[in-house]
Amino acid sequence: MFEIYLHFAAFSGSVLCMITDTSTLPDDPAELKKIIFELQRQKQKEHDVFQKQIDLLHEELRLAYAKFFGKKSEVFRGLNPQLPLFDIPEPEDIEKEPEEEHVEVPAHSRKKKGRKPLPEELPRVEVVHDIAEEEKVCQCGSHLSRIGEEVCEKLDLIPAIIRVIKHIRPKYSCKSCEGIEDQGATVKIAPVPSQIIPKGIASGGLLAHILCAKFEDALPFYRQEKQFARLGVDVNRAAMCSWAMKTARQCVPLLELLKKDLLSGPLVNADETTVQVLAEPGRSPTSKSYMWVYRGGTSSSPVLLYDYHPSRSGNVAAAMLQSYSGAVQTDGYKGYDFLDTKEEVVHLGCWAHARRKFIEADKARPKKAKPGSTAIALNFIKSLYKVEKDAKRKELAPKELVQYRKKHSEPVLEKFKKWLDKKSLTTTPQSLLGKAVSYCLKQWKRLKAYIQVGDATPDNNLAENAIRPFVVGRKNWLFAGTPDGANASAAIYSLIETAKANKLDVYRYLRFLFENLPLAQSEEDYRKLLPTALSLDAMPPLPGFSAV
């Protein structure tokens, strides 16, 4: 028997049936037409579902290719005026492209091309290349006179000098009392000088060099061990690790003061990133732990605080910010949702994250596709940043900036919101564009809140930039051995990054701190050692360094 395989939907339900016997088919042509029609409709429906899945997979594949082979930059140049602006017909007042920006370039003088001069404060050694004395006689017999000189400067480097500082404490005794019975000899000696690591061989200068190399230059201890060996001294990585943890414990009073200053400012930026800790109690060595980063304080004295925790739970940020009152800016991670319930906190979102999702959707477009919805969304965001750029040029105070944003940014936000609402009805939610639109709508209250906070920017880049040095270091040293090591790293990163944010030379600051920290007794003493309380001119010059 010739078998015909047909898939069709039963009229009483949506269950697909398979017919292998034609004798079960009706003889009425009208009924057969209905079956064929229903079969075609069901096949078309399945085709549409599969095609949508194929399109989504193609989109993800194009994005993966763009990330792997394409440019990493997220710079968006705007719409090409030669190409259509819209991919779907929508109301003109919503789809209207933001106005073209006109940039006025003031007149300027060009710098002379050439090599940048070497800093004047560097010490100089003069090497004179003179001609022989017999050559200083002219062919006429007269002596040549010096009329000038040509100078060429070359930059030289002498490897680091390892030196030993001998602390000598003379002892004194009374010779007259030595022979008297029932009276011991009088002996006097100077007290042991205070050191950040008592009985250790590391001076403040050596500690500053080691910690600066690891936490600012991302140079792991085992590589520094090789460098010290080349200089002729044995400083092993275990000793350096021990010194780092002991130093961090001595800096706890400073970190408490930094936390107070962090929470005293009008704005806190928060973010977190992963870190692997091998010997975390009760956890696998491959488990992910987290380094939380907070940036706050005032604009003139910013504070960066790193906080290690094995969990990414929102309770970690809640514990840090439980007594805070002001604005907090974060990304869209749900662990920060608790901030929306705090009346004393204004929760701000991050336009950089929103923009990045549209950038990814734009990168996933087919190469020959015309600019469409992603370009429109990116132009709206570009308009918001243009307002910030103009306001920065005008050097507006925070209150003035709020008024300026209400006048120029708020209308753009209103149009963008209407566009997002309309686009959400016609975009596949699983597509990259649909995810970008959905993210903006879910975060809209946070995204628009920045216009009310003059100390804030539209994005959370201040916190993300603070995380970058830690991420660079993590690529080199890969993991922390113990929770104590991770906490020590957090403490030292806090001091170093706060010093950098306050425009201090990291090595000079750490050396000054480690030499004076053992002498601190009161809160006032500790506060004088904070990187926010110092300036580069206030710190003494490095020993043995002076211009010639």
- Angle at which helices 29-69 and 351-363 cross, to 10°: 110
Q: How far is CA 32 from the centre of its chain?
A: 67
Predicted confidence at residue 101, as pLDDT, reads 54
What residue ranges in 115-239 does DSSP mark as E strands?
171-173, 187-189
Predicted confidence at residue 239, as pLDDT, reads 94
The 10 Å Cβ neighbour count of residue 535 is 10
227 domain-assigned? yes
Instruction: Name residues whose C-beta falls within 8 Å of residue 390's C-beta, 6 or more positions apart in sequence.
Output: 408
CA distance 155 to 8: 84
**295, 202: one domain:** yes
> Is the confidence at residue 406, as pLDDT, over 90?
yes
Q: How far apart are the first and last CA of the chain?
A: 107
263 domain-assigned? yes
Question: What is the rounded average pLDDT of the residues 428-446?
Answer: 91
Least confident of 1-5, 259-263, 350-354, 461-465: 1-5
Which residue among 425, 459, 493 closes a domain?
459
**269, 361: one domain:** no
**297, 361: one domain:** no
151 domain-assigned? no
Contact 304, 246 (CB under 8 A): no
Which residue among 14, 47, 65 closes a domain?
65
Q: Which tens digit of pLDDT belongs to each residue from 104-124?
A: 666 666 666 667 888 888 889
Predicted confidence at residue 4, as pLDDT, reads 37
Which residue among 42, 65, 88 closes a domain?
65
Question: Phi and psi of 347, rounded to 5°?
Answer: -90, 120
**298, 363: one domain:** no
**440, 501: one domain:** no
**Residue 20, domain extent:** 6-65
Give, as one character, the DSSP assignment of residue 367.
T
Q: How far is CA 272 from the centre of its chain?
A: 10
CA distance 63 to 536: 46
Question: Phi and psi of 18, rounded to 5°?
Answer: -115, 125
Instruction: Name residues whose C-beta falls within 8 Å of residue 150's C-beta, 6 or more positions apart in sequence.
Output: none
Q: What percent of the chain has pLDDT over 70?
A: 82
**320, 198: one domain:** yes
Residue for token pair 């205070």: 194
**216, 319: one domain:** yes
For residue 420, CA distances in Å to 56, 236, 436, 447, 449 come to 20, 59, 10, 13, 17
**490, 449: one domain:** no
Give, as one character, the DSSP assignment of residue 531.
G
Would you place residue 541 in the very low, low, confident or very high pLDDT band (cuts 50, 70, 90)? confident
CA distance 472 to 172: 54
> Is the confidence at residue 220, as pLDDT, over 90?
yes
80 domain-assigned? no
| Burial profile 319-336: b = 16 or more Cβ within 10 angstroms, e = fewer | ebbeebebbbbbbbeebb
Predicted confidence at residue 341, as pLDDT, reads 92
Residue for token pair 């006179």: 145
Question: What is the rounded average pLDDT of the residues 454-463?
Answer: 94
* SS3 at position 20: coil
CA distance 317 to 437: 27
CA dihedral 290, 291, 294, 300 (to 10 degrees): -160
CA distance 253 to 516: 14
CA distance 177 to 193: 28
CA distance 337 to 326: 16
The token duo for 446 is 């946070």
Least confident of 10-14, 16-20, 250-254: 10-14
Instruction: Name residues whose C-beta falls within 8 Å of residue 195's C-beta, 6 or more positions apart in sequence.
Output: 203, 518
Predicted confidence at residue 540, as pLDDT, reads 78
> Is the confidence at residue 96, as pLDDT, over 60?
no
**355, 304: one domain:** no
CA distance 389 to 400: 14
Would you place residue 77 in the very low, low, confident or very high pLDDT band (cuts 50, 70, 90)? low
The token duo for 343 is 């009346």
* SS3 at position 329: strand
**489, 519: one domain:** yes
**Mean pLDDT, the chain, as a whole number?**
84
The pairing of strands 267-276 and 288-297 is antiparallel
> Is the confidence at residue 366, as pLDDT, over 80?
no
**172: which strand partners?**
188
Instruction: Name residues whose C-beta falls within 8 Å of residue 440's C-beta, 6 or more positions apart in sequence.
Output: 354, 357, 420, 447
**496, 453: one domain:** no
Would you place residue 1 in the very low, low, confident or very high pLDDT band (cuts 50, 70, 90)? very low
Predicted confidence at residue 88, as pLDDT, reads 37
> Is the confidence at residue 509, as pLDDT, over 90?
yes
**433, 519: one domain:** no
137 domain-assigned? no
H helices of 216-304, in order, are 221-230, 237-250, 252-263
CA distance 393 to 398: 14
74 domain-assigned? no
91 domain-assigned? no
| Number of domains forming the structure of the chain | 3
271 domain-assigned? yes
CA distance 401 to 451: 8
CA distance 392 to 194: 48
